[in-house]
Structure formats: C-alpha cells, structure tokens
Chain A
Amino acid sequence: MLPKPPLPDPPSDDKRWKIVATSMRRLGNQPHALIEALHSLQQTFGFLDRPGLEYIAGTLHAPLSKVYGAATFYHHFRLKPKGRHTCIVCTGTGCYIKGANRLLDDIEKKHGVKPDQTSADGEISLLTARCFGACGLAPVVVLDEEVLARVTSDDVERKLAEVRGNVPR
C-alpha cells in the first residue's frame, strides 16, 4: 500500500484547531469521522468555513466534494456565521398547531428576517427546529439557549428587544 499523504497543518495558529484535530484523531483520522469532525468544527468556531472544511478533508483524506456534500446535507450545519443572538422557533407539530408560524411571521414583519437568515445589523439569526421534544411547552422558542415556553408574539418581541444590542450571556 502507498503511504498516506502527511496530515495538513491547521489553517491558522489559533489554539482552537487542536480541539478539531483531537476529535478526528480520536476516531483514527478515518473518513468515517467526518460528521463528528464537522460537529467539532461548528461547535468550536460557530460555523463551517472554507479553510476548516479543507483542513478536515486533508486530515481525513476525504474528497473535498464529499465533505461539502455532507456539510450541506445536514440541517444542523451552518456555512455562514451566526448573528450575535440566535432565535430558534420550534416548528414541530405540537408547536405548529399552537401557532408557531404566526410567531415566525411576526418576527419577520418586525425584524425583516426569514428562517435561516440573519438580520441586516447582524444582531439576530432566525432559525427553526423540527422539534425540541418539549411539546408540553408549545409553542417553544429558544433565544440564546434560554427556553421560552408557551410564548406569544408579544413575549418574543419583548425578549428580542431586551437582548438586541446586549452581549449574549
């Protein structure tokens, strides 16, 4: 067998690349570590950027197109940076029945963002989730890790106004 090409250097001397490298090494830098590596990259840097994807492809000896194909297949992965705050509206059936779409419409009206977009000032990223599994609290909105249960559009608006301009916790 031909020797494997050497492992690439991290894209920069940012110490955090070590976290990503470790996640891949733990699984022997094998191609099947790809999804775990993407999780690790996103958790560490907030989104999947091009140098990061190239670094993962090089380390796992995976084709670039395969890495990009996987990164864009899964909803969880983001290829663009998030806004300062993330507002996730659950659109699971329980929440849908209790008006999740109205919440989304009202947020769009007020802040000009559709799901998967970030407001022009980079403050708020609006996301949807398929179900948090907390249907007893429907409709559910998660704002910067804080779970808002049985919310109305006014509740969401008040909360958004509160965090806008503030540094997230």
Chain B
Amino acid sequence: MSPDEIRGMAEREREHQAGRSCVLQVCTAAGCQPMQSVEIKTALEAEAKARGIGEHQCQVKSVGCLGLCGSGPLVRREPDGAMYQRVTPGDAPAILDSLGSAPPTHLFLDTRQPFFARQTRIVTANSGRIDPERLEDYLAAGGYATLARVLTEMSPQEVIGEITRSGLRGRGGGGYPTGLKWSTVAKSPGTPKTIICNADEGDPGAFMDRSVLESDPHRMIEGMLIAAYAVGASEGYIYIRAEYPLAIARLKTALRHAERHGLLGNNICGTRFNLRIELRLGAGAFVCGEETALIASIEGNRGTPRPRPPYPAERGLFGHPTLINNVETYANVPSILERGGEWFAGIGTERSKGTKVFALTGSIANTGLIEVPMGITLRDIVFEIGGGVPEGARFKAVQTGGPSGGCIPEQYLNTPVDYESLMSLGSIMGSGGMIIMDDSSSMIDVARYFMEFCMTESCGKCIPCRMGTVEMHELLGRFLNGSAAKADLDLLEDLCEMVKSTSLCGLGQSAPNPVLTTLRYFRPEYDAALAAGGR
C-alpha cells in the first residue's frame, strides 16, 4: 500500500464508522473469552437482529482487553464509553434496552473510578476499542500512517535519534536504553540484519504482552517495521509462547493482512524497504526470555544461554547482527514516532520515561491490566487503581518483576515506580507482573514458590544456577517444615550472594532476589521459623 492508499482506506473506514449511532464492544481476549464472551457477542447480535436494529445502526464488535479482567466479561459501548460488567449471554436484552440510558445497576461498571481515570494509555490506546482481526480498524485509528511517513520522510538515523530522545527503555525487564540498542545494531557490520520480537512472556502472573497481541497486534507489527527500517534489518521473527493460542491466532491473522496489503514483504509502502516476519513458537522454557537462549531456540537448539559478549547486536541469530526487543517496547514505537520523542520524554520520571503496563493480580480488588505513567507510586497503583486488598484481609507485600524480582513491604509503598527505585529496593521493574499478597501469605512460602520456579526453569548449563536453586529450595523448605537451624540461614545467605554473582545468565543472577528481599523485609518470619524449630 502506498501512503495515499493507507490514508484512503483509513478515511473510508472512518466514514463508515461515523455512520453508526452505537457500537457495542465485547471483550473477546483471553481474560473474558473463557467466561462466554463469544456467546455474549452472538447473543447481542441475535437480539439486535430480532429487534430489527441493523448493523449500520448498532454494531456488535469483538475487541481486545478492556482492562478490568476481574469484573469480566466486559462490554463497552460507544459513543458514550459506558461499560457493563459480569455480563452473561442472557443479559443481551437488558443491554439493548439500556442503549439510550444508563446500564442497569447489576451490570453497571463505573468508568469514572480511579482504575480507569488514572491510566495513561499509549500501548493500550486501541485495546478494547478496535477489532484486532481487522486491519481497517487499525488504519482508521491512525495505524500505519506513521510507518508511511517514517519510510518516506525520515532517514534511519533520524528514527534512531527520535527513539533516543524519547528515553524509551526495554520493557522486558532489564531496562536497557532502546535507542542505544538500535544504534549498536545499525552500526554493526554484516548483512542481513535480523530483528526479533520477544513475545515469550514467561513471568508467572504477567500477561501484558498477551493482552497487547490479542488486542492490537498491528501496533506491535508497525513498531517492528519502524525498528527494522531504523537498524537496516530485512529478516524478522516473532518468538511467541505456545501457551497463548489466541494471541498466536490473532497475530497470524494480522501478519497475513499486513502481507496482503503490502505492509510486509518487498517494497513496503512503495519504498525500497523490505521485511519478512516469521512466527516461531516457544515450547515452554522461561530461560528463552534471555536473548542468547531465545536465539538458540530459534536456531533449533536447546534454549541455553551463552556468555556475552559477543552481544546479539554484533553476532546474533545465525551469526547476523540482531535486534531483540519485547512486545511492549515495540508497541511504544509508533506513538513515539507519531508524536515525537520530546512528547514521550515528557511523561514519567528523570530516567524512566513513558508509561508501563502492569498486570495486577493476587489479593486485590481490581484484577486486570493497567497502563500508568512511570513515577506513579506503588501505593497509588495498589490502593487507588487496584482498589486495595479485598475486605477482611490486610496488605502485606507487592511482588514485582516475577521470579527475578522481589517482595516490597508496606513501608515502601510510596516509592515511585521506575527502574532505579525498584532496583534500590532489591526488586526490578521486570516485564510488569504485580502480585499483591495479604497477611495470609507466608513470605517464606512465596520465596520458595519462586525458587521452585527458577529451579525447574534453570537450563542446567552452569552449576550455580543448576544446583544453587536446588539447594536454596531445599533450605527454604526446612524453614517451612520447622527443621531449619541457624547454620541453614547463614548458608542460605551465602548461596544467594554466590548464585547472584556467579551465574551465567540473568535467570540465575536474579533467582535469589525473591529470597533476598524476603530476608531483608520479612526477616522476623525466618527468625520465627528458627525459633519454632527450637534451633
């Protein structure tokens, strides 16, 4: 498609949409789908038809995640944005009855509550608004217009400059400056260059990337296209978890549509820029989130990491210079290029720019997906947006960063959420899982849960991770069954330090974090376990 064709198609779709007086958006992402949301959509369509309401008047539309998964299945209506919660197929008549007025009380979901009001949506701007399986919807929302402009009006160096100015940092966990990464790959000699999207979201309790791919796959693809243009890549791969069948299906559809309309392949937008993107399925190995392990897996090997350097930017997939970013990082790119690096840098804190998507789960009133500006406090996330822990329980800790992160207690809730602050607390930003625990959770048990995870996910290549995780798991078990002695506590602390310092890759290096933070903030629990065992 040429830039003019993109504009034309978007224009036509917008006119088409403007003609409708009402749209009912039904979430069919993986959070609501198991709760019969597809049946709800069918019921709404049937009801509308029975009432003689045509599609041009009221359209029932399948959309991605509307955010508040815990109150699902959710339905949203345009143009006023009112929302219905805990909908069942049987509610279809009630919903259609209420079209001109407020939703009935038992279905009404207040969209003025902080959960919605305090979000800043960049990555999730189209989530729950557009039909993820229609290219036209994405185009009408302004999609691919930025790509067309970038390809025809900007040099690769200018694109990298804009990303650098934005201050965007990798959203997969490490927080490496994206602009720097891109310019390294761009400067690396060797062709063809390769671009990879890491969609192997492995942290248990995290589902940001799944949601983006299920709700707005083209945004990620557009981000990849812009990145590929900037670094000079012509081969692309998306490495996605096999456990996400719906995300895979929607991504496949999106790739097919993009190819058919000349947004992927040769001479994209009528320019000399070419990019092919292939989908590769992960097979259930957390360690493949590590760049070199991910590359090994795409190359058809056991997903074990190798020592760096050489970094993938110099020698990556099949020995070619390779850029790897995760889904959320790419999904930020179109907006940055559309509105400028300055605009993005205006959101967030001094060193952490933009927004971050978090998945709120555990003991919290509002379970779901949120996008908030960097620098917001943990307290605001947990108690304002998240609505606090459910009645009858007391907040104990919030866990960020998954198995590589740590448990943060109440006294640090006023900490702003940015890469450095979380690290100074012994945790990490991570990919965005946020699990809230109440006083019914034993912190030693939580530490052991994560250690068990690391133990079974350790690839086994280096001994500190392979055996260190086993030994730490064993020692934590002694604290739980009352057989721990003081010597075990000393050994546990020694082990944490040793595994952190000597492991080959990030999995091992960060595996002790959940133990270290619980030792730091919840030491009385360990002491009590020692006392109870009488040692």
Do A and B touch each other in the complex, judged by CB within 8 A? yes
Asked if B34 and A31 make an inter-chain contact with CB atoms under 8 angstroms apart, the answer reads no
In the complex, A112 Cα to B243 Cα: how many Å? 26
A107 at the interface (CB under 8 A from B): no
Q: Mark B28-54, 1 if CB is under 8 A from A, else 0.
A: 001101110000000000000000000
A21 at the interface (CB under 8 A from B): no
Q: Which residue of A lies closest to B205 (CB)?
A: A93
Asked if B70 and A97 make an inter-chain contact with CB atoms under 8 angstroms apart, the answer reads no
Asked if B281 and A133 make an inter-chain contact with CB atoms under 8 angstroms apart, the answer reads no
Asked if B201 and A133 make an inter-chain contact with CB atoms under 8 angstroms apart, the answer reads yes
Name, among A33, A73, A131, the residue most crowded by chain B CB atoms within 10 Å (CB to CB).
Answer: A131
| Given known A70-B302, A92-B205, A93-B449, contact A136–B367 (CB-CB < 8 A) | yes
Asked if A77 and B300 make an inter-chain contact with CB atoms under 8 angstroms apart, the answer reads no
Q: Which residue of B lies closest to A146 (CB)?
A: B34
Asked if B204 and A93 make an inter-chain contact with CB atoms under 8 angstroms apart, the answer reads yes
In the complex, A165 Cα to B433 Cα: how many Å? 39
In the complex, A149 Cα to B22 Cα: how many Å? 31
Name, among A33, A39, A77, A135, the residue most crowded by chain B CB atoms within 10 Å (CB to CB).
Answer: A135
CB distance from B528 to the nearest CB of A (A): 21
A47 at the interface (CB under 8 A from B): no
A137 at the interface (CB under 8 A from B): yes
A7 at the interface (CB under 8 A from B): no
In the complex, A130 Cα to B435 Cα: how many Å? 15
Which residues of chain B (281-300) have a CB below 8 Å from chain A? 281-286, 297-300
Q: Which residue of A lies closest to B244 (CB)?
A: A133
Asked if A34 and B435 make an inter-chain contact with CB atoms under 8 angstroms apart, the answer reads no
In the complex, A117 Cα to B205 Cα: how many Å? 25
Which residues of chain A (120-157) have a CB below 8 Å from chain B? 129-138, 140, 147-149
Asked if B35 and A137 make an inter-chain contact with CB atoms under 8 angstroms apart, the answer reads yes
| Given known A74-B303, A91-B204, contact A130–B437 (CB-CB < 8 A) | no
CB distance from A139 to the nearest CB of B (A): 11
In the complex, A30 Cα to B207 Cα: how many Å? 33
In the complex, A38 Cα to B301 Cα: how many Å? 12
Q: Which residue of B lies closest to A33 (CB)?
A: B300
In the complex, A32 Cα to B299 Cα: how many Å? 4
Interface residues on A, range: 35 or more
Q: Which residue of A lies closest to B363 (CB)?
A: A97
A96 at the interface (CB under 8 A from B): yes
Other-chain residue from B281, B359, B459 in contact with A135 (beta carbon distance below 8 A):
B359
CB distance from A79 to the nearest CB of B (A): 13
A158 at the interface (CB under 8 A from B): no
A134 contacts across to B, CB distance below 8 A = 30-31, 34, 69, 207
A4 at the interface (CB under 8 A from B): no
Q: Which residue of B lies closest to A74 (CB)?
A: B283
Asked if B210 and A93 make an inter-chain contact with CB atoms under 8 angstroms apart, the answer reads no
CB distance from B37 to the nearest CB of A (A): 11
In the complex, A60 Cα to B34 Cα: how many Å? 39
A69 at the interface (CB under 8 A from B): yes
Asked if B301 and A66 make an inter-chain contact with CB atoms under 8 angstroms apart, the answer reads yes
B362 at the interface (CB under 8 A from A): yes
Asked if A130 and B243 make an inter-chain contact with CB atoms under 8 angstroms apart, the answer reads yes
Asked if B204 and A62 make an inter-chain contact with CB atoms under 8 angstroms apart, the answer reads no
B280 at the interface (CB under 8 A from A): yes
B207 contacts across to A, CB distance below 8 A = 131, 133-135
| Given known A94-B362, A96-B449, A97-B362, contact A136–B435 (CB-CB < 8 A) | no
| Given known A131-B205, A132-B243, contact A137–B69 (CB-CB < 8 A) | yes
Asked if B435 and A94 make an inter-chain contact with CB atoms under 8 angstroms apart, the answer reads yes
B280 contacts across to A, CB distance below 8 A = 35-36
Which residues of chain B (274-326) have a CB below 8 Å from chain A? 280-286, 297-304, 318
B204 contacts across to A, CB distance below 8 A = 91-94, 96, 130-131
A–B complex contacts, Cβ < 8 Å, 16 sampled: A33-B300, A35-B283, A36-B281, A38-B283, A70-B300, A92-B204, A92-B205, A93-B433, A93-B435, A97-B435, A131-B204, A131-B243, A133-B201, A134-B34, A136-B72, A137-B34
**Which 6 A-B residue pairings sit nearest by Cβ, starting from the closest?**
A136-B69, A147-B34, A133-B207, A93-B205, A74-B283, A75-B284
- Kindly list 15 other residue pairs between chains A and B, CB separation below 8 angstroms, not including A130-B284, A130-B286, A149-B34: A32-B318, A34-B300, A35-B297, A66-B301, A70-B301, A73-B302, A73-B303, A74-B283, A93-B449, A131-B206, A131-B243, A133-B201, A133-B207, A136-B368, A137-B31
Residues of B bordering A, CB below 8 Å: 30-31, 33-35, 69-70, 72, 201-207, 210-211, 242-244, 280-286, 297-304, 318, 359, 361-363, 367-368, 399, 402, 433, 435, 437, 441, 449-450, 453, 459
